[in-house]
Amino acid sequence: MVNTADNLYNSNLTLGSYSSGKENLPPKRLVRPSKYQCSPFDNDLRGPLTPSEKQLHSNIVALGKIEPDRRAVLVDKTSLSLGQLGNSFDTNGHVEAYVFNVFYRLLFRDNHPRQSKKHYFFTTIADYFLQAWTTEEGRISMRRRALISFSGAGTTLPLHESERLFFPSVHHEHWILFIVDIVARKFIFLDSVYDGESPFHMEVKDLMINNFLKTWEESRLRRMGFRNFGIEYP
């Protein structure tokens, strides 16, 4: 009934709110799609930075150069140094994988997968999906780490009961986010630069999806019909 009501509401968006006999008048109110028809990845800009935020940014970058080895963040057993944090914030630097790992650990701690229905994986898992090894020993080590990660995540919430799985990844020094949306039955790639038709994603897409499927199957997890999932680039 809810879906029927949403579809009926969205099918009349262009009509607005009219009175009988006044069909040529403009809508009385602005209309927008139901929230259930909107992508969760479409967000408004956060607005301008405040002076205090700009100063904080400058301080972090400066401290990262003065005391690069000093620990800046510790979430459970996942840590981040001032140098790694400052280099990630610096306009001339690059985002360190440790930043994502600490942030994802914080998301896990603040909102357990049993409540959030989401799993956030460290960047090393996507490295395995993208075959970022240089030796056979490296491949074996990364595969073992991926299987252990899937198994460990499943102890907090079975992966097949999750709504979304998040895999941050870097390829050719460019960061993207690969999401397995189990509810929407889609593989989603969030990218601020390249679209789905770019040479970048022509290279990344099959590697990421096929090696995710391989890891899922080797972990002996429940079949989810992943091969029927769609692919989306919001």
Domains and their CATH numbers in the chain: 51-93 (no CATH), 111-232 (3.30.310.130)
The pLDDT of residue 16? 45
d(CA 9, CA 17): 11
The pLDDT of residue 94? 87
Q: What is the mean pLDDT of residues 105-122?
A: 94
For residue 115, what are its two tokens?
Answer: 């409540």
Q: Which residue has the tokens 């994988």?
A: 97
The pLDDT of residue 142? 95
Q: What is the pTM of this model?
A: 0.76
When pLDDT is cut at 50, 70 and 90, the band that residue 147 belongs to is very high
DSSP calls for 76-123 = TTEEEEHHHHHHHHSTTS---HHHHHHHHHHHHHHS-HHHH-EEE--H
CB 111 within 8 A of CB 104: no
List pLDDT tens digits, range 14-61.
Answer: 444 444 444 445 444 545 555 555 565 565 567 788 999 999 999 999
Helices 136-156 + 199-218 axis angle, to 10: 70
The pLDDT of residue 49? 85
Name every residue whose Cβ is closer than 8 Å to that of residue 31 and which is 6 or more positions away in sequence: 13, 16, 17
The pLDDT of residue 2? 72
**pLDDT, averaged across the chain:** 86
List pLDDT tens digits, range 17-30.
Answer: 444 444 445 444 54
